[in-house]
Structure 1
Amino acid sequence: MTFTDTASDSRTFRRAVRDLTDGFARHELWLHLGWQDIKQRYRRSVLGPFWITIATGTTAVAMGGLYSKLFKLDLAEHLPYVTLGFIVWNLINAAIIEGSEVFVANEGLIKQLPTPLSVHVYRLVWRQAILFAHNIIIYVVIAIIFPKDWSWADLSFIPALALIMLNCVWVSLCFGILATRYRDIAPLLGSVVQLLFFMTPIIWNDATLRQQGAQRWSTIIELNPLMHYLDIVRAPLLGAPQELRHWVVVLVLTVLGWAVALLAMRQYRSRVSYWV
C-alpha cells in the first residue's frame, strides 16, 4: 500500500465514525481526565467548583431582580427564568468557546498519546456536564423559594438536556477543527457569542419586548438558533407550555450539525495533529 492509498483510506466516513465510537468506548479515560480538570482547576480551594455556582447564582439573582424591577415583572416568575437562562447558556457557551480550543489546549496529549480525537471532545463535554450539575443547584434553591406545580410533562427537560449535550459534541468537533487550522476563529467566536448573548432571551423575555414596543424584533430573534436550544430545557422546568417549533429547529440543526461534523472528521481528522 502506498502513502497515497494510506492517506486516502484515512479520509473515509468509516474512519470518522470509528474515531467517535472508539473515543466513546474509552469512557474511563475521558471521565477521569474531565474530573481531573475540575480538581486541578480548583486545587486547594475550599469550595471548589461551587465558586462557579456562587458566581452564576449571584449574577442571575442580581440581573433577575434588576430587570424585574425595571420592567415591572413578577420576581417569582422572572428570577427562575433568568437563572435557568444563565445555567443553560453557560453550557452552550462552553461548547462554542472552549470547543474551539479543545485540540489546541490538548496539544501535548494529541502528539504523545495515541487516542481518538473525539476523546478530547468527550472530556470537554463531560467537564461541562459536571459544572452544569453544580449550577442547577441554584435553580433547585429558587424552585423551593418560589414553588410551582409540577407535572410529568416537565420531565421532558431530560431528553432536551441530552439533546443539547449531543449538540455540544458536534459543535466542539467542528469549531475545534476549524479553529485549530485558523487561529483567528477562536477570538472571532468570542465576539460573536457575546453578541448572541444579548440577542438571546436570557435576561429579557417577550413581555419585555412588548413593553418596549419592539415586537418586530421577535422575527429577528427567531433566527437565533440558541434561543430554541434554550427553550426546550427552560420551558419544562418553568412549567411553561412547550412549542413544537423549538424542538423541530433543534432536531434539524442536530442532524445538519452531525453531518457537517462527520464530513469535517472525514476530511481533516488526520491533519489536526500537524496543525496543533
Structure 2
Amino acid sequence: MQQTSTVDPPAVPPAPDSRTFARAFADVRDAWRQRELWGHLGWQDIKQRYRRSVIGPLWITISMGTTALALGLLYSQLLGQELSTFLPYVTVGFIVWNFILGVVTEGTEVFIANEGLIKHLPAPVTVHVLRMVWRQVLFFAHNLVVYFVVLAVFFPALTEQYVMEGDTVTHPGISWTIVLALPAFVLLVVNAVWVALLFGIISTRFRDIPPVIHSFIQLVFFMTPIVWHVGVLNKVTGEGGGSWKILVAEFNPIYHFLEILRAPLLGQQQDWHHWVVVGGFTVVGWAVAILALRNYRARVSYWV
C-alpha cells in the first residue's frame, strides 16, 4: 500500500513587487555606480561618429562656430545690436540650446536606440540615460571652445559695463560671478537626466511621441531668446508697451535654464527668479520621473 507523505512542501516565497520606490531609487543609484560602463560607452559614441574623419570631433566645434557667427552677424544687423556684446550672447545661447536640444530629442529615443543592450545586458535602465547625457556633456565641452574664442576676441567689451539695445538694466560685465556657471551647468545636467528618463519611458510605450517632440522643438527654438533677447520685446512697442509680451519668454521653461548659465558667462545682470523656477522644475521633474520609473521600469524591456 502506497503511503502518502504528510510533510507539506516548502512554501514558495512570493515574488517581490518590482513597482516600488525602493527599486526605482535603486535603479538610479546602481546606474550611477556603473560610471565606468556608461562613461566608456558615451566616449565610444563620440569616437565612432567621427571614426574616419581627419579632424574628428573638432567638426562639432567648427559647426557650432560657423552657425553662431552667421546668425550673430545677421541678427545683430536686423535688431540693431552691438556686435561685440550680441555675438557672444548668440554664441552662448546656441551652445546651451544645443545641449538641451540633444537631451530632449535623443532622450525620446534613448531606450529604443539601445534595444539590443537592454535585452542582453543586465543593467539598470538609467545606465542608458546617463550614457546619452554624458555624450551630450562631451558635445557641450567641444562647443565651449567657441565660447572661449569669442570671449578672447570681445574680452574688453564684456568686462566693462554694457547695455544691450532694448534692455532696461546695465550689465556689470564679467567678474567673479562667472563661477556661478558651474552650479548652473550641474543643475542643467541633473534636469537632463530626469527629462531623458521620463520622455524615454513615455516614448518607448507611445512611438508617436518622438516625431511630435522633434516637430514641436523647432517652434520652441524661435520662441526662446537665443537669436533675440527679451529687451527687444519692449523695443517693439515702445517703453513699457511690450511688458505683456515678456510673458512669452517667462512662461518658456527653457528661457530660465538658458539664463542661469548664460548670464554669468556673459557678465549679465542675474535675476534670481530664474534659479527659483529651475529649482522648482528640478524637484517636480524628478518626482514625476521617479514615479514613472517605479511603475514602468520593468516594462521597458518588453516595450522596446
- For Structure 1 versus Structure 2, the TM-score category normalised by the shorter chain is over 0.9
Consecutive unaligned residues of structure 2, counting only runs of 5 or more, are: 1-10, 160-173
Q: C-alpha displacement at 1:156, in angstroms? A: 0.3
Is 1:218 matched with 2:226? no
Which whole-Å CA distance do the structure 2 matches of 1:2 and 1:212 have between them? 73
Other-structure match for 1:175: 199
Q: C-alpha displacement at 1:207, in angstroms? A: 3.0
**RCO higher in 1 or 2 (8 Å CA, sep ≥ 6)?**
1
Other-structure match for 1:238: 266
Question: 190, 193, 197: which is aligned to 1:166?
Answer: 190
- Number of residue equivalences: 274
- Aligned pair in 2 of structure 1 residues 218, 27: CA closer, same or farther (>3 Å)? same
Other-structure match for 1:251: 279
**CA offsets per residue over residues 118-147 of structure 1, 9 Å max, x none?**
110110011010010000000100000000
Other-structure match for 1:19: 27
Q: C-alpha displacement at 1:221, in angstroms? A: 1.9
- Aligned pair in 2 of structure 1 residues 128, 108: CA closer, same or farther (>3 Å)? same
**AA of the residue aligned to 1:133:** A
Other-structure match for 1:275: 303
Is 1:105 matched with 2:113? yes
Q: Percent identity?
A: 55
Contact 2:256 2:277 in 1 (8 A): yes
- Give TM-score, length-normalised by structure 2: 0.88
**AA of the residue aligned to 2:104:** I
Matches within 5 A, 1:24-63: 24-63=32-71
Which whole-Å CA distance do the structure 2 matches of 1:157 and 1:170 have between them? 20
Is 1:185 matched with 2:193? no
Q: C-alpha displacement at 1:37, in angstroms? A: 0.3
Other-structure match for 2:124: 116
Q: C-alpha displacement at 1:210, in angstroms? A: 2.7
Q: C-alpha displacement at 1:69, in angstroms? A: 0.8
Other-structure match for 1:206: 230
Contact 2:72 2:87 in 1 (8 A): yes
Which whole-Å CA distance do the structure 2 matches of 1:89 and 1:168 have between them? 12
**AA of the residue aligned to 1:236:** P
Other-structure match for 1:151: 175
Other-structure match for 1:80: 88
Other-structure match for 1:95: 103
Is 1:129 matched with 2:133? no
Query: Which one has a bigger Cα radius of gyration?
Result: 2
Runs ≥4 in structure 1, deviation > 4 angstroms?
Answer: none
Which whole-Å CA distance do the structure 2 matches of 1:222 and 1:275 have between them? 37
Which whole-Å CA distance do the structure 1 matches of 2:54 and 2:190 have between them? 32
Q: C-alpha displacement at 1:100, in angstroms? A: 0.4
Q: Which moved more, 1:143-152 or 1:68-77?
A: 143-152
Which whole-Å CA distance do the structure 1 matches of 2:286 and 2:228 have between them? 31
Determine which structure has the larger helix proportion and give its number.
Answer: 1
